[in-house]
Amino acid sequence: MPTTWPSRSGCPPCCTPSAGTPTGRSDRTRWAAGRSTRSPAASGRRSSRGSTTRSSAPPITWSTSSPPVCGGRTRSTRGRKGVSPVDLAPTPEQRAYRDEVRALLGTDEVRAETAAIRTRPGTEGGLLDVYRKLGERGLLAPNWPREYGGSGRGIAEKAILTEELIAHGVPDIAHTLSVDIVGLALLLFGTDRQKERLLPPIARGESVAGVLFSEPEAGSDLSALRTRAERDGDGWRLSGRKVYSAKTQLADFALCAARTTESEVRFHGITVFLVPLRTPGVGVEPLWNIGDERFNEVTFSGIRVTAEDVLGIVDDGWRIIGEVLGLERTGIEFQAKARRWLDAALERTGTAGLSPAEAGRLVALDAEVRAARLLAWRCVDDIHAGRSDEVRSAMAKYWAGETGREVALAASETVGLDALLAGDDEESLGHGVLEAACREAPGLTLASGTSEVMLTVIASAGLGLLA
């Protein structure tokens, strides 16, 4: 059993691969707004980085008369360059999208499927059915361009979907991997042919993609990876071992980082491949852990990949890795989980006659969860605007992760032994919401960057305290 909770992406929890690398900001902005990233050139050629395709996707933050997304107006007090007052309020289109997602996830059929998933972890059929229902309505990848199965909306709708999936108890890992990470990688760096072949099935909920970055000897330092891709004619032979990958048992293909060139600078010479997983020579074995989601160990025994399976440019994989992990650092998912866990505790203790100390603890945590949501949505606004703020992302991720852990602890101590009833117990709280929270919460401070690394980023890049 692994003793850590790595990132859903299989990336080491304290790896920061984007440091010192280009940001690809223009493409990220188009992706965030649901704009087309199709190359005007013939199919099969690399996507243009200079497309000026316009989008009708609504912005995130402008309806001051609307109920605020994050609880109110937030004003910068640091005077940092490029930061201005912003009202994080939903537009009518965004409210309508949230209502549509809620209506679907709240149907009796979907609720029954998600309840079965929660009470019987590993029940994957129901999860894929939920994804297909979202995909049929164009809701699963809202910020993707329409030609690839999205609805041309903005990054706000994507964050809304994440919040609603978590609020309704739908496991979000496969969605995060397929849409947020793999989908983003393809939209930013894929050829037209790759995008046309791989993206629409994901958007329809018919295909799941995985991410293979971490290795036994490349946890905290991804640049130390040992999986190799050696030239074989016009392709490569892939050999190596990956660990801590989620949902690989369901995935049709995965992003895989492998070393293609030896270099004195270790993050040079890494290439990202789109590896088909249902291929002879690929082994997938479970790695069970304290949470409901299993990890996997994936081995490659000299499988052949072609030039068509290369994502981006050979030896330029480090930049790709840094680009595609950005959304995990908004804290959106973690604050949504903290809110769900706290609401479950409040529902249970609302009429229980809490002591003033217990009530005060829950009230304080409610304020902290609201603050975590505000920080997370400010990061979403940064992505929408094409800004890259490493410090604010680190703050959001740190606060959301630590708050989620504290919520799970306080909820279990306040509710008592009832919080430890598993989902298959008839007397469990919300199909074991708090019991699952107790097992999952420690990982929030590790996944997508440990709390210690986030504090280091803030201290060095934000406050100038470290050289």
pLDDT of residue 220: 61
179/108 same-domain check:
yes
**Domain at 203, CATH number:** 1.10.540.10
pLDDT tens string 227-275: 999 999 999 999 999 998 888 998 999 999 999 999 887 789 999 999 9
**Strands 86-87 and 73-74, bridge-based pairing:** antiparallel
Average pLDDT, the chain: 80
343/427 same-domain check:
yes
Q: Which of 208, 233, 264 is the last residue of a domain?
A: 208
178/244 same-domain check:
no
Q: What angle do CA 399, 29, 457 make, to 5 degrees?
A: 30
pLDDT of residue 374: 96
312/342 same-domain check:
no
219/197 same-domain check:
no
130/248 same-domain check:
no
pTM: 0.80
pLDDT tens string 372-392: 999 999 999 988 888 878 899
Q: Residue 149 — very low, low, confident or very high, per pLDDT cuts 50/70/90? A: very high
Count: domains in the chain: 3
**Residue 40 maps to a domain:** no
Section 23-42 average pLDDT: 50
Q: Which of 192, 208, 224 is the last residue of a domain?
A: 208
Q: Residue 293 — very low, low, confident or very high, per pLDDT cuts 50/70/90? A: confident
276/371 same-domain check:
no
247/353 same-domain check:
no
300/394 same-domain check:
no
Q: Which of 316, 338, 362 is the last residue of a domain?
A: 316
The CA distances from residue 330 to 127, 173, 325, 386, in Å, are 24, 15, 10, 14
144/247 same-domain check:
no
Section 323-342 average pLDDT: 87
**By percentage, how much of the chain surpasses pLDDT 90?**
52
**Residue 67 maps to a domain:** no
Higher pLDDT pick, 45 / 441 = 441
pLDDT of residue 54: 31
Burial class (CB in 10 A: 0-12, 13-18, 19+), 349: middle
**Residue 307 maps to a domain:** yes
193/217 same-domain check:
no
Judged against a pLDDT cut of 70, whether residue 82 lies above it is answered with no
* DSSP-based three-state secondary structure for 360: helix
201/218 same-domain check:
no
Q: Which residues span the domain enclosing 349?
A: 329-463
CA distance 396 to 294: 26
Judged against a pLDDT cut of 70, whether residue 140 lies above it is answered with yes
**Residue 10 maps to a domain:** no
